[in-house]
Amino acid sequence: MSAGTGPAWLEIARRDLLIAFRRRAEAANPLVFLLIVAALFPLGVGPAPQELSRIAPGVVWVAALLASLLSTDMLFRSDFDDGSLEQIVRSPSPLYATALAKMAVHWLVSGCPISLVSPVVAGLLYLPAAAMPALLFSMLLGTVTLSLVGGIGAALTVGLRKGGLLLSLLILPLYVPVLVFGSAAVDAAAHGLPWHSELAILGGFALLAVTLAPLAAAAALRINLDS
Amino acid sequence: MSAGTGPAWLEIARRDLLIAFRRRAEAANPLVFLLIVAALFPLGVGPAPQELSRIAPGVVWVAALLASLLSTDMLFRSDFDDGSLEQIVRSPSPLYATALAKMAVHWLVSGCPISLVSPVVAGLLYLPAAAMPALLFSMLLGTVTLSLVGGIGAALTVGLRKGGLLLSLLILPLYVPVLVFGSAAVDAAAHGLPWHSELAILGGFALLAVTLAPLAAAAALRINLDS
Amino acid sequence: MPLFEACDLRCERDERVLFEGLSFTLAPGEIVQILGPNGAGKTTLLRAVAGLSTRVSGEMYWNGAALPGSRWEFLRETLYLGHDAAVKPGLTPFENLRWHAGLWGRTTSIGIEGALGAVGLARHRDTPAQHLSAGQRRRIALARLLLSPARFWILDEPFTAIDLEGVSQVESLVAAHAAAGGVVLLTTHHRLSLDCRFRQVALESGALA
Amino acid sequence: MPLFEACDLRCERDERVLFEGLSFTLAPGEIVQILGPNGAGKTTLLRAVAGLSTRVSGEMYWNGAALPGSRWEFLRETLYLGHDAAVKPGLTPFENLRWHAGLWGRTTSIGIEGALGAVGLARHRDTPAQHLSAGQRRRIALARLLLSPARFWILDEPFTAIDLEGVSQVESLVAAHAAAGGVVLLTTHHRLSLDCRFRQVALESGALA
Amino acid sequence: MTVVWSFLHKLGSPRWFYRISSQWLPWLSFLAVGLLAWGCTWGLAYAPPDAVQGNSFRIIYIHVPAAFVSLAGYYAMAGAGVVSLVWRIKLADVALRAGAGVGAAMTFCALVTGSIWGKPTWGTWWVWDARITSMLVLLFLYLGVMALYEAFESRETAARACAVLSLVGTVNIPIIYKSVDWWYSLHQPATIRLTGAPTMHPDMFHPLVVTILGFYLLYLVLLLLRMRAEVLEREQKSRWVEDLALGRGLAAEPGG
Ligand code: HEM
Ligand SMILES: Nc1ncnc2c1ncn2[C@@H]1O[C@H](COP(=O)(O)OP(=O)(O)OP(=O)(O)O)[C@@H](O)[C@H]1O
Ligand SMILES: Nc1ncnc2c1ncn2[C@@H]1O[C@H](COP(=O)(O)OP(=O)(O)OP(=O)(O)O)[C@@H](O)[C@H]1O
Ligand SMILES: [Mg+2]
Ligand SMILES: [Mg+2]
C-alpha cells in the first residue's frame, strides 16, 4: 500500500512538513518580520550605535517573541476549519503525540530559522560579536518553549476567528520567563560574563514545556471541538 | 419598513459597529496588547529609568503599530469568508465608500482607544509629562493613517489564510513614515522643542491616506473576489 | 424582448475548456436551470453572470444594454445567492436580514419579521446564527428571496442543507417569482419539481471522465 | 448481538430539548437513517455517536461494551464524515487521501489511485484541491469510504454538492457496505433509494414551529 | 463516596447555591466590613507613624492585603477550573468567571495603591522592580482569562477553555515570579528596596493582620455577589428565578 507506515502522528507531521514545503516561499515570512521589526527600532529610537547595542538583546528577543507568536496562530486553525481536526482527534494515535508533532514541525519551520538569522538581525543593531554564540544558542533553546507555549494558546483560540490579538494577550505574559533568561544570557555574554546557567534554565523550561504543553493543548483542542 | 434608511455604506458601518458593540469586551484587546508589548521592553532591555525614558517614544510607537496591524487583519476577512463581501461588492453603494466606512469603524474601535491609553503606557516607560500632549495628538492623527494603510493590506490578503504574518510584511514598511514622524514629534516634545511641523506632516499623511487608501482597498477586494 | 441575454460564453480554466459557445436568453417569467456534473463550471458561470468574475468571455445583455456598461442598473435588479450564504455567525437572523435589506435600501412589503416567519425562523429571531444548525443558517439566506425586490434571481445550489419541506417551499417561491414576471437562473443537483415550465441548459464537460 | 447500541439518549440545547428517550440498535448489515427537519438535532446526534461531543447524555455500547470505556476499539472501527470534509485546499486529492490513510495506518486493497478513479477524480489526481469545484472537493472525502476498513460508517449529509450520478454511486457503496456486514448511520435530506432495506429513526422536534 | 457525590451534586445546583449564599452573605459582609473598619481605624489612627516614611506608609493597610488576596485569588480560580474540568459542575464555571473579575480588580487595586505609595517614597509612580513587574504580569494573566471567556459564545466551552488557561498559569506564576526576581537582581543593583516587613513594629503589624483577614473576607463577599448575579443571569428562564423576581421568595428545594 502507498499508505503511511509509521504511527499517525508521524503521518501528521509529514503532512505538515509537506504543506510547509509547498509554501516554502512563506517560510521566509517570520524572518522578514524579525528583520522589519528590528529595523523599526533605529527608526523610532534613533541611530546611535551605543544605545542600539545596549538595547539589542532585548529588541531581538522581543521581535523573536512576536514573530513566533504570529506564526503560531495558524498552528491548529486550518485543521479546525476544514474538519481535519475532527479526524485527528478520532484517529487511533493519542492526541498528545499529535499535538507534540505539530508543535515540533512548527518549531522546525519557524523557531529554528528565526534562531539562525537572529545573529544577523542583532548585528544590524550593533550587538558585539562576542555575544553572538549566546544569542544563537539561547534562541535555539528558547524558541522551543515559545513554540510549545504558543501552541497552547493556538489550541485554546482555535475555534474563534479573532486574529492574533487575543492569542497575544493569552500567550505573551507566559513568554516572560523565556524573554528574561534569553536576553539575560545575551547581555551577560556581551559583558564578557558566563552565560551557561541561563542556558541551562532555558533548557529546563523547554523540558517542562515538552512534557506539559501538549497535554494542555490536547485538552484545549477537545474542548473547542465539543462546542 | 424596518430596513435601514441611509445609503448602503452607512448600513455597513452600522453593522460593523453593532458587531463591535456585541463584542465590546474585545474592545480592550488592543489596549492590553499595547500594555503587554510595552512591558516586554523593560524585561528585555533592563529597568533603568533613563534608558527606558530615552527609548519610550520609539517603543510606544512600535507597539501601537503592531497593535493596529494585528487588529487590521480581520477587517475584511470575516466578510470574505462568509460571502458578505460578494454581497457588498454587488450592492448599489460604491465600494470606495464601503471600504472607507469599514476603515473608519476600525479606527474608532482600535486606533482611537489605542491613542487614548498611549500616555499611560508611555508613563510606565518614564516618558516625561511634557511629551504627553505630543504623544496623544500624534497618535490620534497617526493611527488614522495606520488604519487606512492597514486596510489596504487587509484587502490584499483577504483571500489568503496566512494569518497576520504576511500582512505584516506588506504593511509594516508602509508604516515607516508614520513611525518616523510620530516618534520624532514625541522626541521633540520630550526635549522641549516645538513639534507642530511633525504633526502637520502626520495630518498630511492622513489626508492622503483618506483619499487614496479606500481606492486601493476597493481594487484589491475586487481582485480577490475574482479568483 | 428578453430581460437577460448571454451570447457565446466561453470559459477556460487550467488549460481546460469548461464551456464554449454557450448562449441562452431569459424572457420575463422564464426559469433556466444549468445542468452539469460536478466540476462542469456551473458556479463559474453563475458568478460571471452575477458580475463577480471576469474569467468568462462573451457578451451579456441586460434589458438590451451590453453588460459591463449598464452594470449599475443590472446589479440593482439582481439577487445572487452563492455557495456562501453571507450570514454573519455573530448576528441574529433578524440583524442579518436587516443588514441585507439595508444594503439594498428597499424591501418588499413582507418585512423582515414576515420573511423570518415564512422560512420557519420566527422563534429563532434573536438567536445568534452560530447557534443554529446548518440548514437553519441557510434558511436565513433564503429569506432574502422574500425580501428583495430584485427581478433576476441567480441561485447557486439554493437547496443545500435544506430539508424536504423547505425545498418544496423554495420551489414554490421560484415558481411564484417567475409567475410574477421575474427571471431565475439556478443550478442544483436536486430534481426540480416546479409547478411551471422551465428550461434546462446543460454544460457539456468531460470533468468526470 | 447488535454491533452498536444507543440507549435513552437525550440532548438539550439552549434550554430546549432536542431529543429525549432516543434508543436504537445497529446489528451487522443494518442501515439507519436519522430523519428530522432543519435544526432537529441530527448533526448533534451524529457527532455524539462519533465521540466528538459530550453534549448528549445516555448510554452507548459498541460490541456490548459501554462506550467511553471501550473508546479506542470503537474509534478504530468507525469512520465519520461530517459537514466539513477534512480536505486540505493546498494539497492534491492524492496527498489528501494518503494523509487520511496514514492516519488510520491501514487501507483496503483498492489503493489510493483506485479510490480516486472510482470517484471520478483520476485526472485531477495532482490538482490542488482549492482548484476543484465544491462537488469535486466533496468527492475526495467520499473516496475515504472506499479506502477505510472501518465497519461503522457515520455519514452526515454525504450527498452535499454531489451530482446525481455521484449520489447513486454513493448509495450503492452504502448498500454494499451493509451487505458485507458493516453498519451505517446517516442523515440526508435526499430521498434515499437503496437496493436494500434500511430503517429510519425520526427526531421529533418543534424546531420548525 | 455517594455522600461526596450527592454533596457535589448539591453544590452544582445553582438554586441551592443561591439559597445558601443568601443566608451567609449578611454574616460574611458584616464580618468583612467589621474587620476592615477595625483594622483601618487601628492602622490609620492609632498605629505610630513610620520613622522614615511618616504617615504615607499607612496605605500599607490596603496595599499589602490586596496584593496577598490577588495572588491567592489566582489559585482559587484555578482550583475552580480543576473542579469544572473534572466534575463539570456549572457552579465552578460561575466561580471561575467571577474569580477572574474579582481577582483582576484586586490586582489592579494593589498596583494602584502601590503606585500611590511609590510617589512619595520613590518619587515616581512606577518602578520596574521584580515584585511589581510580576504583579503586572499577574494582572495580564487575569485579563487573558477574562478576554478568553468573553471570546467564546458558549458558556460551557468558555469555562473549560479558561480552566485550561488558568491551570497553565498556575504552573507559570512561580516561574514568572522567580525569573523576574532574578532579572531584577541581574540588571540593576539594589537602589530601591521595599522597606518594611521584617523590621515592622508590632503596633504597625497587628492592624495589618486584621486588614488582611478583612480583605480575604471581602474577596469572598465580592466573589459571592458576582457569582449570584451570574447565576441569576444564567437561570433567568427557570422557575425559581421567576418566583424570585415576582417576590415569591425562594422555597427550600424538594429534598434539599
Ligand atoms: C505599583 C507598585 C507596587 C506593587 C505592584 C506592589 C506589589 C506588592 C506585592 C505583590 C506585595 C505582596 C508580596 C507578598 O505576597 O509577599 C507587596 C507587599 C508589600 N509592599 Fe508593595 N508593591 C508596590 C509598591 C510598593 C511601595 C511603593 C511600597 C513602599 C515603599 C511597598 C511596600 C510593600 C510592603 C511593605 C509590603 C509587605 C512586604 C512583605 O510582607 O513581604 N509596595 N507589594
Ligand atoms: N453551537 C451551538 N450552540 C447552541 N445551540 C446549537 C449549536 N449548534 C446547534 N445548536 C442548536 O441545536 C439544534 C440542532 O442542531 P443540529 O446542527 O444538530 O441540527 P440538524 O438536525 O443537523 O439540522 P440541519 O438539517 O439543518 O443540519 C439547532 O436547533 C440549534 O439551534
Ligand atoms: N479557483 C480555481 N482555480 C482554478 N480552477 C478552478 C477554480 N475553481 C474551479 N476551478 C475549475 O473549474 C471547474 C468548474 O468549477 P465550478 O466550481 O464552476 O464547478 P461546478 O459546476 O459548480 O461544480 P459543482 O457541481 O461541484 O459545484 C472545475 O473543474 C475546477 O477544476
Ligand atoms: Mg458549484
Ligand atoms: Mg446538520
> Which residues lie across from D31 on neighbouring strands?
D184
Question: If contacts are CB pairs under 8 Å, which of residues 16-45 in chain B contact chain A?
Answer: 26, 29-30, 32-33, 36-37, 40-41, 43-45
- What are the tens digits of pLDDT across the range C144-155? 999 988 999 999
CA of B122: how far to CAs of A60, B39, B50, B179, B190, in Å?
Answer: 21, 10, 13, 15, 12
Q: Which domain holds residue A22?
A: 5-226
Q: What is the reported pLDDT for E199?
A: 57
CB B173 within 8 A of CB A38: no
A36 against A216, higher pLDDT: A216
Least confident piece of the model among A14-28, A80-94, D138-152, E79-93: A14-28
In this prediction, residue E39 has a pLDDT band, given cuts at 50, 70 and 90, of confident
* C67 within ligand 3 shell (Cβ under 6 A): no
SS3 annotation, chain B: CCCCCCCHHHHHHHHHHHHHHHCHHHHHHHHHHHHHHHHHHHHHHCCCHHHHHHHHHHHHHHHHHHHHHHHHCCCCHHHHHCCHHHHHHHCCCCHHHHHHHHHHHHHHHHHHHHHHHHHHHHHHCCCCHHHHHHHHHHHHHHHHHHHHHHHHHHHHCCCCCCCHHHHHHHHHHHHHHHHHHHHHHHHHHHCCCCCHHHHHHHHHHHHHHHHHHHHHHHHHHHHHHCC
Chain B residue numbers touching E124 (CB-CB < 8 A): 49, 126
For residues C95-106, average pLDDT: 84
Separation between Cα atoms, residue C193 and residue C191, nearest integer Å? 6
**Is the CB–ligand 1 distance for residue E47 below 6 Å?**
no
Residue E190 scores a pLDDT above 80: no
Phi, psi of D205 (to 5 degrees): -160, 145
**What are the chain D neighbours of A18 within 8 Å (beta carbons)?**
91, 95
For an interface test with E, give the residue of B21, B22, B40, B43 to mutate (most E CBs within 10 A): B43
Amino acid at C209: A
| Closest CA relative to residue B31, chosen from B73, B1, B60 | B60
Please, which pLDDT band fits residue E165 given cuts at 50, 70 and 90? very high
Per-residue pLDDT band for A147 (boundaries 50, 70, 90) equals: very high
**Predicted confidence band at D207 (pLDDT cuts at 50, 70, 90)?**
very low
* pLDDT-based confidence at residue A9 (cuts at 50, 70, 90): confident
Q: What is the mean pLDDT of residues E46-55?
A: 73
CA of C134 relative to ligand 5 center, distance in Å: 5
Name every chain B residue with its beta carbon within 8 A of the beta carbon of C137: none
Q: Which of A18-22, C198-202, E10-14 has the lowest mean pLDDT?
A: E10-14
Neighbours of A196 (CB within 10 A): 12
Which residue is associated with the grid cell 454581497?
B87
Q: Within 10 A of C164 (CB to CB), how many other CB atoms are there?
A: 13
* Cα angle: C65, vertex C69, C75; to 5 degrees: 85
Give me the residues of chain B with pLDDT under 70, please: 1-6, 23-26, 161-165
Which residues partner with D61 through β-bridges?
D5, D66
B176 reaches A (C-beta below 8 A): yes
CATH code linked to domain D1-77+151-160+169-209: 3.40.50.300
Residue in C119, A36, D148 with CA at minimum distance from that of residue B173: A36
Q: What is the pLDDT of residue E44?
A: 79
Q: How far is D151 from chain A (nearest CA, A)?
A: 15
Which H or E element spans position A60?
A: helix A49-72
pLDDT in the model for residue E8: 63
3-state secondary structure of C18: strand
B51 contacts in chain E (CB < 8 Å):
none
Dist. CA C156–CA A18, nearest whole Å: 34
Average pLDDT over residues A24-32: 74
pLDDT band for position A62 (cuts 50, 70, 90): very high
Min Cα separation C64/chain D (Å): 32
Candidates A8, A22, A90; nearest CB to D90: A22
Checking if the pLDDT of E164 tops 70, the result is: yes
Contacts of A151 (CB under 8 A, 6+ apart): A72, A75, A76, A99, A102, A103, A106, A213, A214, A217
Asked if residue C30 has pLDDT above 90, the reply is yes
Matching residue, cell 432537529:
D40
Can you tell me the distance from the alpha carbon of E111 to that of E114, in angstroms, rounded to the nearest whole number? 5
Closest CA to ligand 3's atom 6: D131
Amino acid (one-letter) located at E138:
L
Minimal C-alpha gap between D31 and chain C (Å): 20
Number of folded domains in chain A? Answer: 1
Please give the helix or strand (H or E) that residue C6 lies within, else none. strand C4-13
| Higher per-residue confidence, C56 vs A93 | C56
Phi, psi torsion values for B110, nearest 5 degrees? -125, -60
**Which residues, other chains included, contact C163 with Cβ-Cβ below 8 Å and sequence gap of 6+?**
C135, D36, D37, D38, D189
- What's the mean pLDDT when you consider all of chain A? 87
Taking the Cβ of residue A18 and every Cβ of chain E, the question of whether any pair is shorter than 8 Å is answered with no
- Per residue in C158-207, pLDDT tens? 999 999 999 999 999 999 999 999 999 999 998 888 888 889 998 875 43
Q: Residue E112's pLDDT is what?
A: 93
Q: What is the mean pLDDT of residues C40-53?
A: 92
For the residues A37-43, what does the mean pLDDT come to? 85
User: Is E127 near ligand 1, meaning CB less than 6 Å away?
Assistant: no
Neighbours of D69 (CB within 10 A): 11
Residues with CB under 5 A from ligand 5 (ion): C 134; D 43
Does the pLDDT value for residue A209 go beyond 70?
yes
Confidence of residue A146 (pLDDT cuts 50, 70, 90): very high
* Model pLDDT, residue E73: 94
Q: Is C91 on the interface with E (CB under 8 A)?
A: no
Chain B / chain C CB contacts < 8 angstroms: 98
Is E60 near ligand 1, meaning CB less than 6 Å away?
Answer: yes
* Degrees to nearest 5, angle at CA B53 with B48 and B56: 120
Query: Which grid coordinates are listed for B173?
Result: 514598511
pLDDT at C105 over 90: no
Residue A26 has pLDDT above 80, yes or no: no
Is any ligand 1 atom within 6 A of the Cβ of residue E195? yes
Q: Residues with Cβ within 5 Å of ion ligand 4? A: C 43; D 134
Identify from D97, D99, D110, D140 which residue to disrupt to test chain A contact, counting A C-beta atoms within 10 A and taking the largest count.
Answer: D99
ipTM (interface pTM): 0.85
CA dist., res. D10 & res. D55, Å (int): 9
Atom of ligand 3 nearest to the CA of C11: 12
Distance from CA of E200 to the nearest CA of B (A): 28
> In the complex, which subunits touch B with 3 or more CB pairs below 8 angstroms?
A, C, E
pLDDT > 90? residue D106: no
Residue C129 DSSP symbol: G
The chain B residue lying nearest C87, using CA atoms, is B82
Q: What is the mean pLDDT of residues D180-204?
A: 90
Mapped onto helix, strand or coil, the DSSP state of residue C167 is helix
> Facing residues of A212 across strands?
none
Spatial distance between the Cα atoms of D86 and D84, rounded to a whole number of angstroms: 6
Sequence ranges of the domains in chain D:
1-77+151-160+169-209, 83-150
Task: Supply the mean pLDDT for chain C.
Answer: 89
Q: What is the DSSP letter of E198?
A: G
Q: What angle do CA E23, E28, E29 make, to 5 degrees?
A: 105
Find out whether the beta carbon of D136 lies less than 6 Å from any atom of ligand 3. yes
- Which of A18-22, A34-38, A126-130 is predicted with the least confidence, judged by mean pLDDT? A18-22
**Residues forming a β-bridge with C5:** C25, C61
* DSSP bridge partners of C34: C187, C201
